[in-house]
Amino acid sequence: MGEFQEQVEALAARSKAAARQALTEEATKTAVILPFIQSLGFDVFNLEEVVPEFVADVGMKKGEKVDFVIKIDGKIAMLVEAKPINCKLGDTQFNQLFRYFHVTEARLAILTNGKEAWFFSDTDEPNKMDKRPFFTFDFQKHDKSQIQELSRFHKNSFAIDSIIEAASNLKYTKLAAAYLKHQLEDPDDEFVRLVGRQIHDGSITKSVSEQLKPSIQAALDELIRDRIQDKLSITFRDEGSKTAEKPASGEVAADSEIETTQEEREGFMIVRAIAARIAPIERITIRDAKSYCAILMDDNNRRPICRLYFNSSTTKNIGFFNAEKVETKVRVEGPEDLYKHAAKIETVVQAYLNA
């Protein structure tokens, strides 16, 4: 896994360079897509494994060609359709790959522009490519779990049955997650009635539904928050009392002068819980200093999320940062007040993700 992860990170660098320099499909193939196929363990110079410009006649259309066909033991395992890196993947490219999929024995297809890779299968109907990808991989922005998922397609671990099973699970998980995300943000009437029937005696009229909706939305937020915080508490407890000892920028203090308090730990876990909606929690880190406790993105003091000023016995403040890294202090009663400022935290984290 370590070697594969290094190869993927090398692909990320290639993709970023190609985004600046590759102007054509052929340039994108050379710069990113062929190295991508090779990183999956396939010999791009061996026609027994990787066949470029594979002819896939579709009905009356003769001479239709798939950019690459990947074979395992002489059988077609995957189709790869390539597009220029400045091309946005969408319906036109999907329709082309859809036609190719139908006339080959492949059960997997990849649509890629060297920046993203969309993975398709036939989980809805045999030998008919699904309309939605079951997995998408961003070459330039990804986490360890996504790299782990990508490793399923490596030649050394390729198992079509387990991939198809995972594809089906991923597809339904994504659809369920999208539905639940919508309900978290703005519960629809049907969802409110569904929950309402469990907690309200009597008919769920329109007025009752409108009355219940804010309470259901608040309950969902609390449930998610508590669940994430429980997981974070376990993780934090397993890590023991280990805290970051490096002072934040501009702070110089002896180790013995820095003590991460219970309130600072709680504040850190709450920030992680809030940020977990949009970012991997391992990217949210803590770095304590003498005068404040910094919560950072990627353990980088040039990416501050907030600062906890909890050392005073009389007053507590939290310093929130905007996308321009300007700090604004807010007086608080304790770490739980961080929840009142969740939007500020999500905004700055999203800005770092987009950078």
Model pTM score? 0.55
pLDDT at 244 over 90: no
Residues 298-303: contacts with CB within 8 Å, 24+ apart? 298/352, 299/244, 301/248, 301/249, 302/249, 303/352
Chain segment 273-327, per-residue pLDDT in tens: 898 888 888 899 999 888 899 999 998 888 999 999 998 878 899 999 987 888 9
Sign of CA dihedral 113, 117, 121, 123: negative
Q: Is 131 helix (H, G, I), strand (E, B) or coil?
A: coil
Pair of tokens at residue 113 = 């522009």
- In whole angstroms, what separates CA 312 from the centre of its chain? 38
What backbone phi and psi angles, to 5 degrees, belong to 37?
A: -60, -40
Chain segment 45-59, per-residue pLDDT in tens: 999 999 999 887 655
Contact 307, 282 (CB under 8 A): no
Banded model confidence at residue 235, pLDDT cuts 50, 70, 90 = low
Question: pLDDT at position 243, please?
Answer: 46
Q: What whole-number distance in Å separates Cα of residue 236 and Cα of residue 297?
A: 17
Q: What whole-number distance in Å separates Cα of residue 31 and Cα of residue 9?
A: 14
Binning the chain into helix, strand and coil, the percentages to the nearest 5 are: 50, 20, 30
Distances (CA, A) of 322 to 64, 280, 349: 51, 20, 9
Distances (CA, A) of 187 to 13, 16, 200: 41, 39, 17
pLDDT at 333 over 60: yes
Question: pLDDT at position 113, please?
Answer: 94
Chain segment 73-91, per-residue pLDDT in tens: 999 999 999 999 999 887 6
User: Which residue carries 């501009």 as its tokens?
Assistant: 250
Q: Is 168 helix (H, G, I), strand (E, B) or coil?
A: helix
Neighbours of 249 (CB within 10 A): 11
Q: What whole-number distance in Å separates Cα of residue 252 and Cα of residue 8?
A: 37
Contact 305, 284 (CB under 8 A): yes
Q: Which residues of 205-216 are buried (b: 16+ CB within 10 A; e: fewer)?
A: eeeebeebbeeb
Q: Is 292 helix (H, G, I), strand (E, B) or coil?
A: coil
- CA neighbours closer than 13 Å in the CB half-sphere of residue 41: 15
Least confident of 216-220, 243-247, 284-288, 293-297: 243-247
